[in-house]
């Protein structure tokens, strides 16, 4: 009986180790400085818990596909540090990166919406940033990436005496990764 229990525990440990490995728990975070952009962004601004940005990205993807546009990536831009700003006051922009040729479709669509569903567009210029990447293989990867990448990037920024800026996350649709970036001023 003891061997059966011990075997079951061993199998459970192996299983969960494999699951966590698959989602990136043991990946090393490499921080670099590179250029990001330029991007054409279609988004909504949010105030409140950053958890709501995922549904905003999904909503923007759905709108894009309904009008025959092809999104290139999802993105989230996070302006406040959740360890120092109250959850209900966190500011973010979330949406999609599109091909510039599709911009007119979104501007026409946005013009016809009620103000509470306001869709915004803007150009994000070529920008130098502190960056890192993490595999994106599901919702667990999203949380593990945040837990692993942000502290390493924060430490890198401090070691270089770079001022903290906003966080920019890019989710390329044809790649299974998320790119984290802190644009440099």
Domain ranges for the chain: 32-183
User: What would the pLDDT profile of 56-100 be if each residue is shown by its tens digit?
Assistant: 999 999 988 888 888 999 999 999 999 899 999 999 999 999 999
State whether residue 49 is helix, strand or coil: coil
State the average pLDDT over residues 51-57.
92
The predicted model scores a pTM of 0.85
Q: Which residues contact 162 (CB under 8 A, 6 or more apart)?
A: 130, 182, 184
pLDDT at 8: 66
Per residue in 35-47, pLDDT tens? 999 999 999 999 9
Name every residue whose Cβ is closer than 8 Å to that of residue 175 and which is 6 or more positions away in sequence: 136
Looking at residue 89, what DSSP letter applies? G
SS3 176: coil
H-state helical runs in the chain: 2-22, 53-66, 103-111, 139-159
Does residue 116 carry a pLDDT above 60? Answer: no
To the nearest 10 degrees (0 to 180), the angle between helices 2-22 and 139-159 is 60
CATH superfamily of the 32-183 domain:
Regulatory factor, effector binding domain (3.20.80.10)
Please give the residue that has the higher pLDDT: either 184 or 114.
184
HSE value, Cβ hemisphere, 13 Å, CA-based, for 114: 1
DSSP symbol at 80: S
């Amino acid at each position: 009986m003891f061997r059966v229990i011990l075997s079951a525990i061993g199998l459970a440990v192996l299983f969960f180790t494999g699951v966590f490995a698959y989602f990136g728990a043991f990946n090393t975070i490499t921080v670099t400085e590179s250029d990001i952009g330029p991007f054409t962004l279609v988004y909504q601004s949010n105030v409140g818990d950053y958890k709501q940005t995922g549904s905003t990205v999904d909503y923007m993807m759905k709108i894009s596909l309904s009008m025959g546009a092809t999104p290139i990536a999802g993105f989230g831009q996070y302006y406040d540090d959740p360890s120092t700003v109250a959850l209900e006051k966190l500011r973010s922009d979330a949406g999609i990166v599109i091909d510039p040729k599709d911009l007119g479709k979104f501007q026409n669509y946005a013009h016809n919406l009620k103000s509470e569903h306001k869709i915004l567009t803007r150009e994000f210029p070529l920008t130098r940033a502190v960056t890192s990447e993490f595999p994106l293989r599901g919702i667990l990867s999203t949380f593990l990436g945040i837990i692993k990448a942000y502290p390493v990037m924060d430490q890198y920024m401090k070691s270089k005496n770079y001022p903290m800026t906003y966080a920019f996350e890019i989710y390329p649709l044809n790649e299974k990764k998320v790119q984290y970036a802190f644009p440099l001023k």
